[in-house]
Amino acid sequence: MTLNLSDLSKTYGQFKFGPFDLRVEDGVLAVLGPSGSGKTTLLSLIAGITEPDSGSICLNGRELVGHPLENRDVGMVFQEGALFPHMTARENIAYAATTAARVDGLAATLEIEDILNRSPPVLSGGEYQRVALARTLATDPAVLLLDEPLSSLDTPIRRRLRDELHSLFESLDIPILYVTHDQRTATALGDRIAIVRDGMLEQVGDSSTVVEQPATEFVARFTGNENLFEGSVIEHSEQGVTVRVGDVELQTATSNIGQSDITVCIHPSRVEIKPSRAPDDEQIINTITGTVTRWLNEGSEYQIEMATSWGSPALTASVHPPVFERLTIDTGTELQIMIPPSSIHLMPNRG
């Protein structure tokens, strides 16, 4: 299936959505953006809850604009589910399913067999969202839209359901748009990520490309990367350009940068650190010294903030617990930092 949005636009008073062009193939596209950027508007336009002022939405070549939502083959799960409160979970799913066997199959997939006879008001947040998803899947949608379905859940339940959704989505061969404002959910679930800002598409691409090679500083910051440094290009060579940040020269693997004033972007997971200087460390390219100013335990990884010889802002490295334990880090600890040339991303400096 292919969903193709072209020149799509909608205006609500001061807020202008679009013109928006986007192609979504089978798999999960995580739609990430700040509050009020137009993420829900995007889904509402695709679902047919809202009609656009102009533009087209094609599903496998079939135009959806102008067709009522029930004829679009689009399923949508909302942040606050929309189950019928006076029906049981089973009745809610059966309302949309063609056979009882289909209800049982979905209940097994979503592990809700034990709660089918309960009514929505007594379900927990996680159970409610599973039933809402089962009911939407029962319609066999050609496109699945999810609008922050996990945002009202507690962190442990959210993480578990997120992992389960990941496997479920892999088994569905349809385009899935998953709206979130949480970068971790976007990278955990999205094969691709679209960043929306002020009603416009800021960047779309494979998750790793968007995260490690952001097109703009906004994308970098919004995907959790604060390692942005003002720099200048000092030399072009066959290996790539050399840049200067403060007093530090860094070799990069990039050659296609025309400007001399640039922003250097280094993803925290690509910063390598080790305890102390070995005799031949001077030989290793892009090796600098850092002093730990702060560290944070974020569960699956540690964030280590370091002052470096290029001054502020600090450089952040994210490391996994086993690496962190080996380093015996505290505030004031001196570390060797290595930044592989291929891990340095350069962006034009917009001043």
Ligand X SMILES: Nc1ncnc2c1ncn2[C@@H]1O[C@H](COP(=O)(O)OP(=O)(O)OP(=O)(O)O)[C@@H](O)[C@H]1O
Binding site for ligand X (CB under 6 A): 12, 15, 33, 35-41, 181
Nearer to ligand X, 151 or 336 (CB): 151
First-last CA distance in the chain: 42
Smaller CB separation from ligand X, 200 or 338: 200
CB contact at 8 A, 243 and 235: no
**Among residues 182 and 191, whose Cβ is nearest to ligand X?**
182
Q: What is each CA distance from 50 to 67, 139, 146, 347, in whole angstroms? A: 11, 20, 16, 37
C-beta closer to ligand X: residue 38 or 268: 38
By beta-carbon proximity to ligand X, the closer residue of 106 and 194 is 194
Burial profile 310-334: b = 16 or more Cβ within 10 angstroms, e = fewer = beeebbbbbbeeebbeebebeeebe
* H-helix segments, 213-286: 217-222
Residue 100: what residue type? A
**345 close to 228: Cβ distance less than 8 angstroms:** no
Tokens of 276: 């102390």
Q: How near is the Cβ of 218 to ligand X at its closest, in Å?
A: 14
Q: What number of other Cβ atoms are within 10 A of residue 12's Cβ?
A: 11
Nearest to 73 by CA among 139, 131, 27: 139
Shortest Å distance, C-beta 249 to ligand X: 41
Q: Which is nearer to ligand X, 89 or 195 (CB)?
A: 195
Contact 304, 333 (CB under 8 A): no
Cα 195 to Cα 206: distance, rounded to the nearest angstrom: 12
Nearer to ligand X, 37 or 316 (CB): 37
- CA–CA separation, 264 and 246 (whole Å): 11
